[in-house]
Chains A and B, each alone.
Chain A
Amino acid sequence: MSENLNEKNGGPGIPASEANGYVSLSARRQSSGKLGDAVFKGVSYAFALSVIVLMALLFIVLVKESWLSIKAFGFSFIYTSVWDPVAQEFGALPSIYGTLVSSIIAIVIAVPISLGIAIFLTEMAPKRLKGPIGTAIELLASIPSIIYGMWGLFVFAPFLSEYVEPFLIDYLGFIPLFTGAPLGIGMLPAGFILAIMIIPFISSVSRDIFQMVPSILKESGYGVGATKWEVIRKIVLPYARSGVIGAVILGLGRALGETMAVTFLIGNAQEIKLSLLEPATSISATLANEFTEAVEDLYLSSLVELGLILFIITFIVLALAKLLISRFSYKGGQL
C-alpha cells in the first residue's frame, strides 16, 4: 500500500531513478516509508493516549463538581439512605443498592439464556435457522433503550402485575424477597427488563467466541466418542471461558449504566426494601429524574457525586473482569 503511494507521489523522482538504477529508488522508498510509519505511529499513539486523557479529565471534572457534596457528607454519603432535597440531606445507599441488585438480577437471568442461545446457534442450529436468529439478536441489540422502557411500562409491567407477581406472592411469598403488592414495577421488573436488554449483547459476543473454537478440537472430541453435550461442556465452554467472561462483563457494564428503561420500571423510591417486588431506585434513574430541577448547589453536587460513584463502580467491575479473564484464559492443554 505505502509502496504504491510512493510510486505515485514520487513522480518527479522517477527519471532520476532510471538513471541511477534500482537501488537508490528502493532506498528512497524505504526512507519515505519510514517517515510515513513514524507519522502513522505518532498519530495513532496520540489517539490512544487521548482515551486516557479523556478518562482522567472526566474523573477530575466529576470530583471537582461533587466536591461540595464530598465535603458536606464525607463517607456518610455512601452508607446513609436519606434523600431529602427539601432539607438538603443526601445519602446514596438506596441508589447504589438498586444499581447493584437490579444488575445482579439481570445477569443471573441473562447469562444462562444467552449461553443457551449462543451454543444453539454455533453447535446445533440447522443452517437455515442460524442466519435469521443471529440477525434477530443483532437487531434486538440495536433497539434504543427508551423503546424497551416504554414497552416495559405499557406491556410488560401489566403482564407482570397480572400474571407473574401474584403467582410469586402466592407460592413464594414465604421468602421475604417476594412479599408486597403486585405492582408490576419495582426491583424485579427492572432486573427483568435489563436482562432482556443485555441478552443480545452477551449471546452475540459468546456466539462469535464459540465459533472461534478450532474445529479440530471438537472433531477430536467426537472422534473419541464424546457426545454433543460432552464436547460442549468439556471442550467448547472451557476453551471459550475467558471470552465468555468478557461477554458477561460487557452485559454487566451496560446493565449498570442503563437509564431510561430502568427509570420507567424500577418505581423510583429512595428506599431499601428486602422484597424485590417493592419499588426501588438506581443511580442512573435518580440522575435522570432529578437533574433537571436541581437548583441548589449542594443538591446538584450530590447528583454529580452519584455519577462519580457509578464511574467508580464501573471501573471496579472492569478491573475485576480483567483479573478474571487473565486467571481463566485458556492455557493450551489444561482445559
Chain B
Amino acid sequence: MRRMLLAFSALLVASGFAVTASAELLNGAGATFPAPLYSKWSYEYAKQTKLKLNYQSIGSGGGIKQVMAGTVDFGASDAPLGAKELKEADLVQFPMAIGGVVPVVNVKGIAAGQMKLTGEVLADIYLGKIANWNDKKIADLNPGLALPNDKITVVHRSDGSGTTWIFTNYLSKVSPEWQKKAGFGTAVNWPAGVGGKGNEGVATYVKRIKNTIGYVEYAYAVQNKLNHAKLNNKSGAFVDPSMESFMSAAESADWKGTPGFGVILTNQAGKGAWPIAGATFILVPESPKECAKAKDVLKFFDWAYNNGAAMAKALDYVPIPKNVSDLMEQSWSKDIKCNSQPVWGK
C-alpha cells in the first residue's frame, strides 16, 4: 500500500512538472509539406535551448483557422494569404522554406529527365485533351524518344493540399483553358485521372501503374526514384528540378514589392528557374496576446533562418535566401507589436 502511495505521489509530482514544462512549449499547426523540416528544427533547437516546439501537421486550412482562433502560437500554410486576408485576420506572414513540385512519369524505356514537356502540354494532359503518349504534341517536343501508343493515366492528389495549390496555380498561369475549366486551389474539380492520398499515394500510383503521369514534391520524386520530366520555364529554357533551379525561382521573385510577402513562385522569369516552385509560409498574429511567447516564436524562426539551412537541404527543402530572410526580420520589428511595443528587435 505504501509503495502504491509513493508511486502515486511520484506521478503527481511528475504531472506537476509536466504542467510547468508545457508553459515553455510553443504550439504550431498547419501544412503537412514542411512538417518533417519543422520537427527536425524543433528537435535541434530543443537540444540547445530547452524550448520545445510542438507542430501539428493538420493541413494548411486547419493551421490558418487555428492561428486565427488563437489556439496556437503560429500557423503554417503552403498557399500564401493575400494582403487583404492578412489584414482582416491581423496576421503577419513570412516564408520559411521553398519546395518544388515535379511532374513524374512512368513510361517504359524513358528515364529521368529524358522527356521534355511544356506547361501547355502538361495542362492538356491533365485536361484529358492529350490522351495518348504518342500524341503529336508530345512527340514534337521529344523527337528522339520512342513513345508508346498507350493511354495516359493521369494521377493527382485526392486530398486537399498545398502541393496541388502550387501545381494548379502553375497550370492556370500557362493554360487559359485550365484556368477556365478547373482553376487553382488546394483541391480542384479534376477533369481526368485517379487520385492518390498524399505525396506518397501519388508516388505509389505512378510507380505501380504503367503509363502514368503524376506530380509530387521534389523530395518524394528523389526518394522514390521516380522519373521526372523536364519543363520549359518562362524564359524558354528546359530545366531539371533541383535545389539550384528552385533557388533561382526564389531569387528572381519580387519579395519586396509584394504586400504581405505572399509571393507565388510559379512560372518565374529567371533563366534557370524551375517553373513549379513554391514557398511555404508561417503565420503569426500581428498583435499577440502573450508577448513573451510571441518573442520565443520569432526567436525560433530567426534561429532557423540562420542555422537551419543545412538541415533543410539534407531533407530536400530549399532554405530561404539570406537577402529574403533579412527582409522578413525587418518586417517583424515593424509589423508585430505587443501592447504597441515591437516584439522583435536586435
Contact = CB atoms under 8 A, between A and B. Distances in A.
A263 B200 CA distance: 13
Given A264-B197, A267-B195, A293 B159 contact: yes
Given A184-B209, A279-B195, A293 B153 contact: no
B339 to A, nearest CB: 31
A289 B186 contact: no
B185 A292 contact: no
Contacts, number: 95
A181 B159 contact: no
Interface stretch (B59-67, B244-252, B259-267, B279-287): B59-67
B65 A269 contact: no
Contact of B183 (A87, A154, A183): A87
Contact of A290 (B32, B153, B159, B208): B159
Interface residues of B, number: 34
B25 interface: no
A158 B159 contact: no
B189 A161 contact: no
B209 A153 contact: no
A183 B182 CA distance: 24
Contact of B195 (A158, A184, A289): A289
B190 interface: yes
B187 A290 contact: yes
A319 interface: no
Nearest to A157: B208
A301 interface: no
B197 A82 contact: no
Contact of A85 (B32, B64, B187, B211): B187
Contacts of A102: none
Given A183-B153, A185-B194, A279-B195, A293 B208 contact: no
- Secondary structure at chain B's binding surface: helix, strand, loop or mixed? loop
Nearest to B212: A183
Nearest to A149: B197
A1 interface: no
Given A264-B201, A289-B158, A292-B61, A183 B194 contact: yes
10 contacts: A83-B189, A86-B184, A181-B211, A185-B194, A268-B158, A268-B194, A285-B158, A288-B197, A293-B186, A295-B60
Interface of A: 82-87, 153-154, 157-158, 161, 181, 183-186, 263-264, 267-270, 279, 281, 285, 288-290, 292-295
Interface of B: 32, 58-62, 64-65, 151, 153, 158-161, 182-190, 193-197, 201, 204-205, 208-209, 211
6 nearest CB pairs, A to B: A293-B160, A268-B195, A292-B59, A268-B158, A84-B189, A86-B183
